[in-house]
Amino acid sequence: MVAASDSCRVVGQQTVVFLDPGHGANVTPKAAASGASRGIVSGESSNGQEDKDVFAVAKKVKKELKKAGYKVVMSRTSNPDRGKAALWQKGNAAQVANAGRPADIGISIHTDAASSVGAGQVYYNKLGGYRQNNTNSIRRTFTAKGTAATSKQYAKVFKKVRSRFQKAPVTITAGHFFPKSRNLGSHGDIPIVMLAAPGVPWVYNEFGRSRPGGLTAAEIDQYARSLVRSTKSAIGPTAGTGRVVRECP
């Protein structure tokens, strides 16, 4: 008699998604104690309504991706963030989200004023992107060529899908500029979460707010659905490097 397990077949490996609903708490900037951004100063900020909106979006995205067979890990599990994770800690967490290995994709979720040039944008890992401390010469540069290429590939998919869902143009760019004047502890042209996770192809999203009070319920749903569809289109649930997935009759 053939055991039931003998009739199963491997259909792939589970895709591990790291979701980063931005902000969540005020965290005093300090130098990263470990990871690829070690020595670079970063903290985190509470942005009020944005924190609530992106956390609501992330919960919807997580629910739908888990239903589809993805493994989902979040940078914070509460709003406000009880863990008070700094940006470098969120990046470090993404780097080991896949049983000690990098997540297959990192998705940051943010909002911005509709009138801002950043609204409706997607940022991907910038090869050669850097951060340098404002008060000393410590500098770290992103050099993971393969990760940057995959990140750009995924970002192109997110741009296309989000533009269709939102019925508005979404643009993509390598990294993002963080000037000294923002007093973040370090300046440069790549988000800390990307710099700290060199093995994670990142897609960093901004969604335009239509009103000062934050996203409407319909916009939260629209944003979430566009991210779920984008993820599915960019990388399948069994196209990653997580646990082996078997299909049994």
- The per-residue pLDDT for range 121-168, each reduced to its tens digit, is 999 999 999 999 999 999 999 999 999 999 999 999 999 999 999 888
What are the residue boundaries of the structural domains of the chain, listed by start?
A: 12-243
Coil, strand or helix at 204? strand
Q: What is the mean pLDDT of residues 6-18?
A: 93
Tell me the average pLDDT of the chain: 95
C-alpha distance from residue 236 to each of 5, 167, 217, 229, 241 (Å): 24, 24, 28, 10, 11
CATH fit for domain 12-243, picks 2.60.40.10, 3.40.630.40, 3.30.420.10, 3.90.1140.10 = 3.40.630.40
Q: How many residues does the chain have?
A: 249
| Cα Rg of the chain, angstroms | 18
* pLDDT for res 2: 39
Q: Which helix (H) or strand (E) holds 208?
A: strand 202-209
Coil, strand or helix at 148? helix
pTM recorded for the entire structure: 0.95
Instruction: Bin 35: left if φ > 0, else alpha if -120 < ψ < 50, else beta.
Output: left
CA 9 to chain centre: 32
For residue range 163-216, list pLDDT tens digits in order.
999 888 899 999 999 999 999 999 999 999 999 999 999 999 999 988 888 999
Sheet holding 186-188, edge to edge: 139-141, 130-133, 186-188
Asked if the model's pLDDT at residue 117 lies above 80, the reply is no
List, in sequence order, the alpha helices (H) in the chain: 49-67, 87-95, 145-166, 192-195, 217-234
Asked if the model's pLDDT at residue 3 lies above 70, the reply is no
For residue range 222-244, list pLDDT tens digits in order.
999 999 999 999 999 999 999 99
The span from the CA of 28 to the CA of 31, in Å, is: 10
65 contacts 72 by C-beta, under 8 angstroms: yes
The span from the CA of 86 to the CA of 92, in Å, is: 10
More confidently predicted of 115 and 82: 82
Query: Partners of 82 in the beta sheet?
Result: none
* pLDDT for res 1: 38
The span from the CA of 201 to the CA of 150, in Å, is: 6
First-last CA distance in the chain: 16
C-alpha distance from residue 209 to each of 2, 12, 108, 163, 222 (Å): 58, 38, 16, 15, 12
DSSP code at position 187: E
Q: What is the mean pLDDT of residues 25-48?
A: 98
Asked if the model's pLDDT at residue 116 lies above 80, the reply is no
Q: What is the mean pLDDT of residues 72-87?
A: 98
* pLDDT for res 210: 85
Q: What is the mean pLDDT of residues 64-92?
A: 98
